[in-house]
Chain A
Amino acid sequence: MLRFLFRRLLIAIPTMFIVVTLAFFMMRAAPGSPFVNERHLSPEVEANVMAKYGMNRPLAVQYATYVGGVLHGDLGPSLKYKDKTVLKIISEGFPHSLLIGGLAMTIAAIVGVSLGVVGALRQNGPADYTAMGVAVLGVCIPTFVTAPLLVLLFASMLGVLPTGGWPTASQPLSSAWRYFVMPVAVLSLPQIAIISRLTRAGMIEVLRSNYVRTARAKGLPEHSVVLRHALRGAILPLVSYLGPATAGVITGSLVVERIFSLPGIGRAFVASALQRDYTVVMGVVILYAGLILFLNLVADVLYAALDPRVRLS
């Protein structure tokens, strides 16, 4: 087990290195510059600005400097948000995205797995059709449609939830939770849909397998067969899906953060890419790659824990 973890960490280093290198050069190859807008800088001033951020040096030198900085935990200054470092932007935005995304994934996992199990047990019954119908809708309707619809209903018409925004630090949880309801719901709906379908498919397959038949033959009660034996096998495909999906959701969604005015990292990421804020884009890419590597590792460990046939060595 330890050897496995060690080996995976060793593989992660070149992977991260390749990601950083590709992102760095792709970003610089994109046309445009962070310092161009309709106000043109005089050549002297532009040279001053470039020198200030070390961008007057050859690209290879900039790359080496950047990688050196990253190794020391320094992601550099933001080129657009002149008062903020990349680390500060990430450390301000990421916790918000993590909270919303984490809640959404937790809810999605609980609801999705439940729906999937119900669907598989009552296969082709009304409960199955209802659950899967909802799931198909959840996948088909994009978040930029569900979000405004929910806002229209719960904020504008019923007036029971805020239209968006983030509670202040001093606000008690008893009123702060209302800000999270709609973003979490919008983010979790498509995930519920995918998770429930994956669970249902896995469950149907496992329920027909020999070990489940054996469990039933032993005379185990139905809930024990389903929850203790079948479910463990059925959610294996789900585990490999959840790793990257969680990484995607907790690093923030542009659409949800924009519509609900959330101070998350997803919006900052897209804005930075459009404004050519190279360092912020790089920082978020590194965060995202690191999360995916980490969560995939977690998924592999979970695999071994759930399925005795998998050996990690």
Chain B
Amino acid sequence: MRAWRTLMLAGAALGALMASSCDSGGSRPPCPAGKLCYERGNVIDPLTLDPLKATTVNEDHLLGDMFTGLVQYDPMGEPAPGMATSWKTSADGLTWTFHLRDAKWSDGAPLTSDDFVYSLRRLMDPKFASEYAYILYMITNAEAVNGGKLPLTALGVDAPDAHTLRIHLTHPVPYLLRVATHETMYPVPRHVIEKYGDQWTDPRHWVSNGPYIIKSWVLGDRIHAVRNPYFYDAKSVCIDEVNYHPGSDAIAVERAVRRGEIDSANDIQSNRIAYLRRPDQIPAYVHVKTWLGTTFLGFNPNAVPAFKDIRVRQALTMAIDRDFITNKLMRGGQLPAYTFVPPGVASYPGSEPPHWAGWSLERRQTEARRLMALAGYTPQHPLKFEFKMRNTNDPQLIYPAVQADWRAIGAEASLYPEESQIAYSDYSARNFQAADIAWIADYNDPMTFLYLMKSTTGPQNYTDYKNPAYDALLDQADHEVDIVRRGQDLAKAEHMAMEDATIAPIFFYVSKNLVSPKITGWVDNLSDWHRTRYLCFAGHKPPG
């Protein structure tokens, strides 16, 4: 009896202790008095803090706050002047000249055009082994330099003077400014790298040229960044300190945002969105917007001879009930996809969807059954194949539905879920019959999608699509200086590939951000870039 009383007393004491300590201002990390601290959720830890080695979107969410390239994203996610204040293109579109502003690194050292030359050569250095160097292969000699066939000095970049940078291209790239926003084109501090080698990214030695600088990083915990006093536009920056919190458990992060422990999170579990938008929940926090990514299916004609038959590919593509997938299964605002390039991509009119896209589902399924029957397959004698898929949430949710759609038209797919890493290595090795593939744009341009189906692309042309007319249109677009005509060429090519049904687009991605209404300056945009330098807290404004 006495033991029970002691236990109850102890419980009461613990409760009182907890209650007394909860008015100490929630559980945000301590913020220095008079400063504005932003607790920013960022799904996963960066794999590296070196922008030239970085490969993921989450790394750029962080590194884009630390570095400023020639151009930088504005609040709408569009390219705006950065280190370069102006630029011009030669008449043939093959030479770009950038004029740089007077700027300094965060240790006070001057930043010159030589830093950009150094950074681009470092990126292309075969010994540096950047996984993303290929994105800049349009620079003269880049591919040969990266492959070790030419010296670094052969790379097509030069610095006529400290404030001028010239980039020479193998073909006109009217969207070069969009490429230049990518993390591979950030300048890195040569004087620090030459001193510390690979250890330059250690927060103790950190030097960068953007609005913030990194002070500490504990894996799985947080990255702490503070203002860079030498940033050229420091007076327009409102938030003083940023903590980037990794959190791969979307529900845990959602709770933290609700409690005000984290101010924004860049992922929401899709099936929570409708609930969070209810008036009694947190509708003002939910930001959903079409994003530059597509999930699609690939049919490997070399593994399943039937996939060489266009009737089979078309039937499999048109039979899929995409509205059911996006509205009933995903429920996150994703759009059904009948083309590969997401709507709204820059410098692109969008391609005409395949001829059947406007039909009702019944008509599509009837036609699909007819095409399958012509090819010799019926629900009684179905075409059998293996369907490989990533074992992450969304694929596991949607492919049983696709499987059912196919069964009704005479195709029997058995699902093989695999870890993403293994799945992609199988796809690249063509060790699949049909597969679920996702593609996120490197930059806002149709080419980052459409080159995938070019016959010279190699492993990433997952379905080994080989259509001379398609290749010719892409080549023509690559040599087109006029951006409107280039867009028309690409749209024509895309329509051709979609009618060929070499791949079956399923849905377009959406960006899903959960943002506290206390944060101001957040603009939903197609590229989903939200640099901290443009954000502020309600009721505050930048020092300048």
Chain A residues near B (Cβ < 8 Å): 31-33, 35-42, 44-45, 48-49, 51-52, 80-84, 89, 92-93, 96, 118, 148, 151, 154-156, 159-168, 170-171, 174-175, 178-179, 181, 257-264, 267-268, 274-276
- The answer, among B21, B219, B420, for a CB contact under 8 Å with A263, is B219
| Bound Cα distance A96, B222 (Å) | 13
Flag B408-429 by CB within 8 Å of A: 1 or 0 each: 0000000000011110111010
Q: Which residues of A contact B246 (CB under 8 A)?
A: 261
B425 touching A32, Cβ below 8 Å: yes
Closest 5 CB pairs of A and B: A162-B27, A263-B220, A263-B221, A48-B129, A82-B48
Flag B307-323 by CB within 8 Å of A: 1 or 0 each: 00000000000000000
Binds A, one of B71-79, B98-106, B252-260, B359-367: B252-260
Closest A residue by C-beta to B143: A42
| Bound Cα distance A44, B419 (Å) | 26
User: 24 A-B Cβ contacts within 8 A?
Assistant: A31-B422, A33-B421, A33-B425, A36-B421, A36-B428, A39-B131, A39-B460, A41-B131, A83-B49, A83-B202, A155-B255, A156-B255, A160-B19, A161-B27, A163-B256, A163-B261, A164-B255, A165-B256, A168-B30, A178-B21, A261-B252, A268-B220, A274-B419, A276-B421
Question: Taking the nearest CB of chain A, how far is it from the CB of B508, in angstroms?
Answer: 16
Question: Taking the nearest CB of chain A, how far is it from the CB of B512, in angstroms?
Answer: 19
Question: Taking the nearest CB of chain B, how far is it from the CB of A104, in angstroms?
Answer: 17
Question: Taking the nearest CB of chain B, how far is it from the CB of A290, in angstroms?
Answer: 21
- The answer, among B18, B53, B202, B251, for a CB contact under 8 Å with A160, is B18
- The answer, among B220, B245, B440, B458, for a CB contact under 8 Å with A93, is B220
Pick the most buried of B55, B198, B420: most chain A CB atoms within 10 A of its CB: B420
| Bound Cα distance A262, B147 (Å) | 42
| Bound Cα distance A178, B259 (Å) | 15
Q: Which residues of B contact A45 (CB under 8 A)?
A: 126, 129-131, 133-134, 146-147
B18 touching A178, Cβ below 8 Å: yes
- A32-B419, A159-B22, A259-B252 given as contacts; is B220 within 8 A of A52 (CB)? no
| Bound Cα distance A118, B106 (Å) | 64
Question: Taking the nearest CB of chain B, how far is it from the CB of A53, in angstroms?
Answer: 9
B220 touching A40, Cβ below 8 Å: no
Closest B residue by C-beta to A42: B134
A162 touching B261, Cβ below 8 Å: yes
B484 lies within 8 A of chain A by Cβ: no
Q: Which residues of A contact B258 (CB under 8 A)?
A: 156
B537 lies within 8 A of chain A by Cβ: no
Question: Taking the nearest CB of chain A, how far is it from the CB of B364, in angstroms?
Answer: 29
Question: Taking the nearest CB of chain A, how far is it from the CB of B193, in angstroms?
Answer: 13
A82 touching B422, Cβ below 8 Å: no
Question: Taking the nearest CB of chain A, how far is it from the CB of B16, in angstroms?
Answer: 10
Additional A-B contact list (10), CB under 8 Å, known A52-B129, A161-B18: A36-B421, A36-B425, A83-B49, A156-B258, A163-B261, A165-B27, A165-B245, A258-B252, A268-B220, A274-B421
Question: Taking the nearest CB of chain A, how far is it from the CB of B145, in angstroms?
Answer: 11
- The answer, among B55, B218, B426, B458, for a CB contact under 8 Å with A92, is B218
Interface residues in B256-277 by Cβ distance below 8 A to A read 256, 258-259, 261
Pick the most buried of A32, A38, A154: most chain B CB atoms within 10 A of its CB: A38
Q: Which residues of A contact B252 (CB under 8 A)?
A: 151, 163-164, 258-261
Q: Which residues of A contact B26 (CB under 8 A)?
A: 162
Q: Which residues of B contact A148 (CB under 8 A)?
A: 251
| Bound Cα distance A82, B245 (Å) | 19
Q: Which residues of A contact B29 (CB under 8 A)?
A: 165, 167-168, 171
Q: Which residues of A contact B53 (CB under 8 A)?
A: 82
Q: Which residues of B contact A154 (CB under 8 A)?
A: 18
Question: Taking the nearest CB of chain B, how far is it from the CB of A226, in angstroms?
Answer: 14
Question: Taking the nearest CB of chain A, how far is it from the CB of B139, in angstroms?
Answer: 15
Closest A residue by C-beta to B440: A38
Interface residues in B418-452 by Cβ distance below 8 A to A read 419-422, 424-426, 428, 437-440
| Bound Cα distance A148, B251 (Å) | 10
Question: Taking the nearest CB of chain B, how far is it from the CB of A278, in angstroms?
Answer: 12
- A45-B134, A49-B131 given as contacts; is B220 within 8 A of A39 (CB)? no
